[in-house]
Amino acid sequence: MSAYRTINPATGEMLEEHPVVDDAAVEDILARSAEAFSTFRRLPLEERTSVLRRAAALHRERIDELAEILTVEMGKPITQARGEVTLVASIYEYYADNAARFLAEENLDIVGGGEARVRTEPIGPLLGVMPWNYPYYQVARFAAPNLALGNTIILKHARNCPRSALAIETLLRDAGLPRAAYINAFVDSRQVATIVSDDRVRGVSLTGSEKAGAAVGEIAGRHMKKYVLELGGSDPFIVLDDADIDAAVAAAVTGRYANGGQACTASKRFIVVEPVYEEFTRKFIAAVSAIAAGDPMDPTTFLGPLSSAAAGDELDEIVRDAVDRGATLHSAPGARRSGAFYPPSVLTEVTSDMRAFEEELFGPTAVVYRVPSPQAAVQLANASPYGLSSSVFTRNAEQAATIARQLEAGMVWINSTSKSAPDLPFGGVKRSGVGRELGRFGIDEFANKKLVRILEPLG
């Protein structure tokens, strides 16, 4: 696909198209971002945070318009789309409220005379490469802290959500952000490499696939650029024998099938100990079977289409591979509907020779495993190249703490699935990425922690 296109996944209708910019435009973007940084970084912090506060307000004021864009562009059910817009508003507001505290000079307790302070300062223009599954949220968790800090941003969004990309740029300008402090860039992968390599760009943040992250990280490393990579996940959902099974099932349905299962932090591998395996699996399959895909514009719809028909085909290949190798498919797919609808389903009896054992299933299909003990559950949970988020369902606080320590993951949730919040750090280990976003950690990733050492008293 050589252009950026809005294609309604529910109908297959192409609604608009934007060409990739030429190389002269890329040079102009780089020059404008660098020039803007020289002045934007010197704006009083109160002026930068006032823009973020206004951006939060505009998200709330425009919630209907913004949510509809998500639904039309990538199929997110309208109620969930409104939830994303609300979350984004809270992220901008969080950094508006807390940036002064995060960026305050820190006096160090040092050995020897004099003083030592650490200043937190911006480093320069940044490139953000963002995905389609949460078009506003993914941008906000990168943009909000860095705009508060004083970095400028060049944003390359996914090719299938140009309408979302333009809506973000328009909203930030309407909030009072200087025009070149945030620049939307309809560029291709070759031009991304050019931007990352350019000396004027000081860092890059990518949320997306492992393949894309490896490519961008390699270029950034070669050019000595800081990078943050938020990549895939195959998040385990562990159910122990003392868990509230009904609560676990309800959480499992939401954690796996919200947003069509198209989330890196979606629960994907359900690891259930033997004593409660039959009960959990029976109730889970029944609940999944009751999910009916519907019109994403209907406020009562929980499951809409995937982002594209191609996304459904990719998921189906993994499911078919598992079935062909002996796995059992529950809630059988039946006929694929027009557009990108994929029926919710559950796989059991998945083994290590199947693609579903190791690959990320990005859609409404869950894998349920039976294990003999909590320790076996941890071992299976860690037998993945990914380490993003995880969930543990148990009534035993001591056991929960023990398992949380043992899990190879960036985030562990006890009796809950992963939920994003502005004040909670987000990120993973292993092939799930490098770095953290949100909370106070998010504002430090692309910052110069400058030491100021004073050996003799001043004044």
Is 230 labeled as catalytic in the residue annotation?
yes
Torsion of Cα atoms, 193 then 194 then 197 then 199, to 10°:
-150
Query: Are 351 and 357 in contact, with CB atoms under 8 Å apart?
Result: yes
Is 264 labeled as catalytic in the residue annotation?
yes
- Compute CA distances 292 → 314, 320, 342, 344, 389, whole Å: 21, 21, 10, 8, 27
Among residues 84, 93, 161, 264, which one is catalytic?
264
Give the integer Cα–Cα distance in Å for 254 and 235. 14
Which residue in 243, 222, 72 sits closest to 160, CA to CA? 72
Which residue in 249, 291, 234 sits closest to 432, CA to CA? 234
User: What residue type is assigned to position 115 of the chain?
Assistant: E
Among residues 84, 93, 169, 230, which one is catalytic?
230
User: What residue type is assigned to position 288 of the chain?
Assistant: V
Extract the runs of DSSP E, i.e. beta strands, from 388-455. Answer: 391-393, 413-414, 429-430, 433-434, 447-454
Contacts of 407 (CB under 8 A, 6+ apart): 236, 378, 381, 382, 390, 392
Which residue in 101, 11, 154, 167 sits closest to 444, CA to CA? 101
Using a 10 angstrom Cβ sphere, with 0-12 exposed, 13-18 middle and 19 or more buried, the burial of residue 332 is exposed
Catalytic center residues: 230, 264
